[in-house]
Amino acid sequence: MTKTDKINDRILRELQRNARITNLDLAERIGLSPSACLRRVQELERSGLIKGYRAVLNGAAMGKAFVAYIGVGLNEHTKAAQTQFEDALQDVPEVVECHNITGTIEYLLRVECADLVAYKTFHTDVLGTLPHVTALTSYVVMGSSKDLRA
């Protein structure tokens, strides 16, 4: 694993802000030569600290302006029940994140839909029909003052 130091931390912060920044501009912002900067970025990639780069999509422009987090409780706390639940969500386009968590519930989902009507259909016809699901608690996103994914 690559050790992080203040320079690597600065590189990672800049890449989180703008992963499409040129190496020349990144090097200038960090205060390194372009070759030293490139070597550091490549090492951060090789070590797995940088897992990849992606496009952040505008949900509203794609017709998915309704965002909610859903707490999901299962009636069985077995590996088989968890695997079955996780497998059932793999091809569900509304679920953009699925996290197995600790506490009183087993999962936290991030769901994106067109609107409240589409969310109700998803909630009832998809989540409401999955085996082992006993509790669903919805948290509708009204605004996001900080979102580092964007």
Taking the C-alpha atoms of residue 37 and residue 25, their distance in angstroms, rounded to an integer, is 10
- Give 29-35 contacts, CB < 8 A, sequence gap 24+: 32/7
pLDDT single digits (tens) 48-93: 999 999 888 888 899 999 999 999 999 998 999 999 999 999 999 9
Q: Where are the domains of the chain?
A: 6-47, 66-140
What would you measure as the largest C-alpha separation in the chain, in angstroms?
57
- pLDDT for res 54: 85
Residue 74: strand pairing partners: 133
**Confidence (pTM):** 0.80
Q: What percent of the chain has pLDDT over 90?
A: 85
Tracing tokens 């992963």 back to the chain, one arrives at 19
Taking the C-alpha atoms of residue 97 and residue 107, their distance in angstroms, rounded to an integer, is 10
Ramachandran assignment for 39, one of left (phi > 0), alpha (psi -120 to 50 degrees), beta (any other): alpha
CATH topology for the 6-47 domain: Arc Repressor Mutant, subunit A (1.10.10)
Single-letter residue type at 136: L
4: Cβ contacts below 8 Å, ≥ 6 apart = 12, 49
Confidence of residue 4 (pLDDT cuts 50, 70, 90): confident
Hey, which CATH number is domain 66-140, 3.90.1150.10, 3.90.950.20, 3.40.640.10, 3.30.70.920? 3.30.70.920
